[in-house]
């Protein structure tokens, strides 16, 4: 019996760790009351999350190739391990968000949307946009807020993370694929 982890087990364990890290980041942002009230804050958390996801997929793919598969991995397996890490992580994170926004703090997303709307209104006003254009933009924000539900956000998160994971995993698979030598030859002479 081979003691090596299967691709699915490996991706699940790495996805679990990544998902927990993403949840902790969300909790820290919530506890510190980090709201999107400036351009820097609007991109801060998504940027940090994206960098962590990239690091996990890169390190996870490379580690699976080197430690589990003894230095070789097909493009398909490299793609799958990266994609599954992201999907498992975001399934966990999406369930957390569903519970948090649906049960724990039902008003959090309203405060979030209102903060973004206020920031955008001030930005558009300072840029000198015509008032009717600003009103149209504010109406779009209000429609987004009205259409928001935790369950819809859950499915959007799963879908968008699958797209992110696909693109990222295609890139990492192309970089880290390493096919075994043909006929079991390892390139050594003698």
Calculate the alpha carbon distances from 54 to 32, 35, 63 in Å.
25, 24, 14
pTM: 0.84
73 phi/psi in degrees, rounded to 5: -160, 140
**What is the tens place of the pLDDT at every residue in 26-36?**
999 899 988 87
Query: How far apart are the C-alpha atoms of 16 and 178, rounded to whole Å?
Result: 26
pLDDT in tens, 29-68: 899 988 877 777 778 888 999 999 999 999 999 999 999 9
């Amino acid at each position: 019996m081979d003691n090596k982890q299967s691709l699915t087990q490996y991706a699940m364990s790495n996805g679990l760790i990544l998902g927990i890290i993403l949840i902790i980041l969300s909790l820290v942002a919530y506890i510190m009351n980090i709201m999107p009230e400036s351009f820097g804050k609007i991109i801060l958390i998504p940027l940090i999350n994206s960098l962590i996801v990239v690091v996990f997929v890169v390190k996870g793919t490379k580690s699976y190739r080197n430690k589990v598969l003894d230095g070789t991995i097909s493009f398909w397996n490299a793609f799958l391990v990266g994609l599954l890490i992201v999907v498992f992580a975001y399934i966990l994170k999406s369930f957390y968000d569903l519970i948090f926004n649906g049960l724990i703090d039902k008003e959090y997303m309203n405060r979030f949307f209102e903060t973004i709307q206020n920031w955008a209104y001030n930005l558009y006003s300072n840029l000198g946009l015509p008032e009717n254009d600003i009103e149209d933009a504010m109406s779009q924000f209000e429609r987004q807020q009205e259409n928001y539900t935790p369950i819809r956000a859950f499915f959007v998160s799963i879908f968008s993370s699958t797209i992110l994971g696909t693109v990222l995993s295609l890139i990492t698979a192309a970089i880290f694929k390493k096919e075994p030598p043909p006929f079991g030859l390892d390139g050594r002479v003698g």
